[in-house]
Structure 1
């Protein structure tokens, strides 16, 4: 076995240990593989001087790439193609020094060089923004009304369901508080109705607290007969006016 052949075999063994294993692993992963462009010239068709120049150029470019921090730290396969091109081009150059052409190493040198020089794959598009949460329609129910019997201070049984609705949707809707305002119809004196409206508001607020709404979120007020839902003459009873209005904030 000649000295040149032993040298070539040694270099090829080193190439297999240095680059081939990692390249094979990368090629098995479609995300890292790059397709080499078609050769724009047939290196084997060049004369000896032109071939040596072409191989030297590829080797120098590959060597520089293996020392470039941008390529060393890249997440694509360019560093590995640079390593492969450097090794294969060195083998091919070694043959040319003895006026020989090793078609296998020349072909691999050119293919690895072209993969190295190919544009890196475009980065994946950014993920779409998360969908904007849709505000539930129930959150737009800003006003809830509880109606009272004539001259009654006791909130009806349905008030508990209203309070449960408010409590269960407070976080979802982003409500920060509740204004509870009592009202009366025009039967009775102003002073009496002022007191009655406040008592009605307090009755509803107590039920809201009992259902789990913090008292600190509730304001209570009484308007008596001064803010009617339905305009009536003084002294007239009207069920639409006997109410407590809960407004969310």
Structure 2
């Protein structure tokens, strides 16, 4: 679709996420729809921000579409179970089978967090993204996360390598704080070596100031 149609579609999904995140029935439900509503709002908002300069960012557009689909796929809260008779032994429900979890978990493996120029501080919306990653890690049974920091081409190679490491350390620290045990968080830094958008040396770029999170 053209840019006008894309902006309209992104805004519609953003509004869907915003509405769901404010719906008390969604907030109180015992399922992941609320987290997906927050993720929809964040990712569609990022995509809309890029579109202000007529730039189609494939990652944020794809994340917006995925989060919106998962928000609408999330099941409603189950009805309250009737209490069993006294002394009745009710076995716990079986865990979700791998075949049922696979599509959701495969789609959610890769996530990106963006940073402001020359900054390693997380943006407010990034905390929602990391909350979602932590929830997905528990739901999908991931055993490790790879956290890789990047910088844009503004500044020296040595400075950007250190900056990308600080960004990765910040994200890894937040994620480690969300896991009691059992999930390893491995950190690496690439500096300006692997840009999403290759540009001339010395060129700042919001798409290259990022931390990429990959799950196993």
In the alignment, does 2:176 pair up with 1:226?
no
| C-alpha separation in 2, matches of 1:157 and 1:233 | 30
2:145 to 178, 194, 197: 178
Identify the residue that residue 165 of structure 1 maps to in structure 2: 132
Unaligned runs of 5+ in 2: 1-96
| C-alpha separation in 1, matches of 2:212 and 2:164 | 11
Matched-pair contact (CA < 8 Å) for 1:160–1:211: no
Unaligned runs of 5+ in 1: 1-130
In the alignment, does 2:134 pair up with 1:139?
no
In the TM superposition, 1:169-248 aligns within 5 A as 169-212=136-179, 214=181, 217-248=184-215
Partner of 2:113: helix, strand, or coil?
strand
Identify the residue that residue 152 of structure 1 maps to in structure 2: 119
Partner of 1:134: helix, strand, or coil?
helix
Q: Against the structure 1 CA distance between its residues 214 and 190, is the aligned structure 2 distance closer, same or farther, given a 3 Å change threshold?
A: farther
| C-alpha separation in 2, matches of 1:214 and 1:226 | 32
Q: TM-score, normalised by structure 1?
A: 0.45
Matched-pair contact (CA < 8 Å) for 2:161–2:190: yes
Q: Against the structure 1 CA distance between its residues 194 and 213, is the aligned structure 2 distance closer, same or farther, given a 3 Å change threshold?
A: farther
The more displaced of 143-152 and 206-215 is 206-215
In the TM superposition, 1:27-176 aligns within 5 A as 133-135=99-101, 137-140=103-106, 141-176=108-143
Q: CA deviation at 1:135?
A: 2.0
| C-alpha separation in 2, matches of 1:152 and 1:221 | 17
Superposition RMSD on alpha carbons, in Å? 2.3
Q: Which has the larger radius of gyration?
A: 1
Q: Against the structure 1 CA distance between its residues 138 and 213, is the aligned structure 2 distance closer, same or farther, given a 3 Å change threshold?
A: farther
Matched-pair contact (CA < 8 Å) for 1:167–1:213: no
| C-alpha separation in 2, matches of 1:214 and 1:145 | 23
Identify the residue that residue 30 of structure 1 maps to in structure 2: none
Q: TM-score, normalised by structure 2?
A: 0.51
Matched-pair contact (CA < 8 Å) for 1:178–1:248: yes
Q: CA deviation at 1:171?
A: 3.4
Q: CA deviation at 1:206?
A: 1.2
| C-alpha separation in 1, matches of 2:164 and 2:98 | 42
